[in-house]
Structure 1
Amino acid sequence: MTETLEKYFVPEPSKYPIFGSIALLLFGGGAVMWLNDVGAGPWVLALGLAVLIYMLFGWFGQVVHESESGRYGKRVDTSFRWSMGWFIFSEVMFFAAFFGALFYARVLSVPALSSGDNEALLWQGFTSAWPTAGPNAADSFTPMGAWGIPALNTLILLTSGATITWAHYGLLKDKRGQFKLGLLLTILLGAIFLGFQIYEYLHAYGDLNLRLDSGIYGSTFYLLTGFHGLHVTIGAIMLTVMLGRALAGHFTAEHHFAFEATAWYWHFVDVVWLMLFIVVYWL
């Protein structure tokens, strides 16, 4: 007896990859032109961003239409799950590189530079104390403390992890109101987090003299927290799209991987922030 295998859906050739290539070319070229004070640079960058947004809306919209029309089976669903898993793994390695840079500077290079005759190569009075303020007293800064806004933002993100899980349980139990409310609360908490982070940056620059060029501490601080803020922004946009689809009646208890993938991403953002809070702010 021959077992009938489920057919794997293969979409028709798409125009959107070429639009993505054009968008990245314009975006990158415009950024380079802008950095080199070429007058058309900002406009080329803006055009690239506009083309990229067009591609995202068109391509994702096509995928949503295919999903809602019932063309995706279990094999396609498995492919989506593997793809999202590998994407999150790539994000893990992305942040691992930055955490590695912080570890190398704080634990290895700064202590090594303060030993032996290395002081003569740097400046008088250099020590391995973290964070190092640099050779000029005028460039001294106050490190960002853990308690206050960072601790509050930690509570906010942990709460947002609970609200998105609550929303997921609502969808699984076919409680659409709970599902939508949980999504909305998660989006609002993400927006509050970003608002506090903007205030934190203003406070760091204006009151603590902590800038991007404040030595290796300033570089790693803004690199890690800034990229995390970017990921929170992307996650909030993804959640907003999920809320729009929920309001349109999309997703069922059996078929909702787009929402599930967004929840994975949001939990990943939560875990990264916990590591940031401990390593960058607290220790």
Structure 2
Amino acid sequence: MSSHNAAAPYYFVPGPSKWPMLAGLTLLLTMIGASAWVNDVSWGPYLNFAGLAGIIAVLYFWFGDAIGESEKGLYSQRVDHSYRWSMAWFIFSEVMFFGAFFGALFYARSISMPWLGDIDHKFIWPDFSAQWGNIGPAGTVEEFKTMGPFPIPTINTALLLTSGVTLTISHHALRAGHRAKTAFWLAATVLLGAVFMGFQVYEYMHAYSELNLKLTSGIYGSTFFMLTGFHGFHVTMGAIMLSVVLYRVLKGHFTADNHFAFEGAAWYWHFVDVVWLGLYIVVYWL
């Protein structure tokens, strides 16, 4: 959202749109492809990438429609409130999403593992070690090494914390009407996010090639890659959102008083930062 027009309708209601249906279809194809991929089905990667390409295309045109409506002055303060509530509920759903994965990690680590290692189960699995990062009670998982907090996770923590600072500086610059400063610090935020993802890709390569740590490495491997992988996906989406906002800043779309697109993306980015701090402590340190 960029500006409010005094002549805007009481509440703008857009016409019928094909984008929600296409978004649902491309998301479905993406998840089917991803599920097939992890189960070693040959066509899985192709369907997954086709679905991702479809999602990107849908978001490009759908966001373009919303931006065009905003720039035409169709959005009033009431629409602004709707966007704020919508973004707040969306972030709440993301909290629940990550809460489920953190809950799975807590259950496996603090409840199931001690239970399998107690005296009663020693008669069934005498060689089982109730230490996090084990190879399972039956020893069916290949030997692997766990991931520590140094150096890459700690570097990534510093990168994300720094990106939160640069984004806040950019926001204050926008509110002060300094567009060049806004663009500079926003670009720095996007760059820090990209560097974060580069380090995470390197970390995954290191895990697979040197630690033998994979998605199939028992409950440790599955929770590690699900938590860090989905967080990386959210960092990528946040960087894309901020890149769109940066493009709009350069186009002169926002004003000091009306710039919810910037604020919504900033909310999301700060949420991603907080989730990473939880991951850094629970996954890498504990």
With normalisation by structure 1, the TM-score equals 0.90
Matched, 1:232 2:235: yes
Which of 123, 126, 150 is the equivalent residue of 1:124?
A: 126
Letter in structure 2 aligned against 1:132: N
Shift of 1:36: 7.8
Q: Determine which structure has greater relative contact order: mean sequence separation of CA pairs < 8 Å that are 6+ residues apart, divided by chain length.
A: 2
Is 1:221 matched with 2:246?
no
Percent identical across equivalent pairs?
Answer: 57
| Aligned AA (1:200) | E
Distance in 1 (CA, whole Å) between partners of 2:24 and 2:204 is: 34
Q: Tell me the distance in 1 between the aligned counterparts of 2:161 and 2:88.
A: 22
CA contact (8 A) 2:27 2:51 kept: yes
The aligned runs of 1:89-100 (5 Å cut-off) are 89-100=92-103
From the superposition, tell whether residues 19 and 140 of structure 1 become closer, same or farther in structure 2 (CA, over 3 Å). Answer: closer
* 2:166 pairs with 1:160: no
Deviations 1:110-141 (A, max 9, x none): 001111321233x3321212221335498222
Q: How does 1:173-184 map to 2 (within 5 A)?
A: 173-184=176-187
SS in 1 for 2:123: helix
Separation of aligned partners in 1, 2:46 and 2:221? 31
The one-letter code of the counterpart of 1:128 is A
**Alignment-derived partner of residue 205 in structure 1:** 208
Q: How does 1:1-283 map to 2 (within 5 A)?
A: 7-24=10-27, 26-27=29-30, 37=41, 45-121=48-124, 123-134=125-136, 135-136=138-139, 139-283=142-286
**Higher mean C-alpha deviation, range 125-134 or range 55-64:** 125-134
Structure 2 residue runs of 5 or longer lacking an equivalent are 1-8
Gaps of 5+ in 1: 1-5
1:197–1:25 CA distance, 2 compared to 1 (3 A)? closer
Secondary structure, counterpart of 2:214 in structure 1: coil
- TM-score relative to the length of structure 2: 0.89
Between 83-92 and 147-156, report the one with greater CA deviation. 147-156
Cα RMSD for the two superposed structures: 2.3
Q: Kindly state the Cα deviation for residue 209 of structure 1 after the two structures are TM-superposed.
A: 1.8
| 1:105, distance to aligned residue in structure 2 (A) | 0.7
